[in-house]
Amino acid sequence: MNTTEFGKRLKEVIEHYSLSASAFAELINVQRSSISHVLSGRNKPSLDFITKLNIALPGVNLYWLLNGSGEMTLNPYSSVTYKSDKIFENDENKSKNEIPSKNMISNSTKSIARIVVFYNDGTFCEYTENKKN
């Protein structure tokens, strides 16, 4: 891995999410100096660094980040921004992604078939409707 090229790609990721280097360090829970050293090409990123980045920003294509091949994001058509310590879809996509209120569910002819809960450590739990025949 070319550390200089990795630093350039990491800078692109940070700019894509409209973060400062300090905010990015806080987001992935590493020291600011680590970000500075990786951005400058002085140090290679550790596995821990890459893992923390992947947990905080799961939409980043790690293959692109490490090797420069492919697209920066796993879904290049998504428009994601960083706000207040959380990643949110832009407002134009908000209505289709927001959690429905109790009234919306009870007035709908649709029923919930599956719920997936993602945890910040990268694990998840899936809950599905229990159908009895």
pLDDT digits (tens, 9 = 90+) for 82-128: 433 444 444 444 444 444 454 544 555 667 777 888 877 777 777 77
Average pLDDT over residues 4-28: 93
- Cα dihedral 26, 17, 61, 6 in deg (nearest 10): -70
Separation between Cα atoms, residue 105 and residue 107, nearest integer Å: 6
Q: Do 56 and 10 meet the contact criterion of CB atoms below 8 Å apart?
A: no
Query: pLDDT at residue 19 above 80?
Result: yes
Closest by CA to 56, choosing from 13, 87, 10, is: 87
Residue 63 pLDDT > 60, yes or no? yes
Question: Is a pLDDT exceeding 50 seen at residue 64?
Answer: yes
Is a pLDDT exceeding 90 seen at residue 38?
Answer: yes
CA dist 130 to 53, 62, 105, 114, 118, Å? Answer: 36, 36, 18, 10, 21
**Residue 129 has which token pair?**
């409707």
SS3 15: helix
Domains and CATH numbers, the chain: 3-93 (1.10.260.40), 95-128 (no CATH)
* Unique residue bearing structure tokens 């409707």: 129
Report the SS3 class of residue 118.
strand
Q: Indicate the residue type of 22.
A: S
pTM of the model: 0.57
pLDDT at 10 over 90: yes
How is residue 90 written in tokens? 């832009």
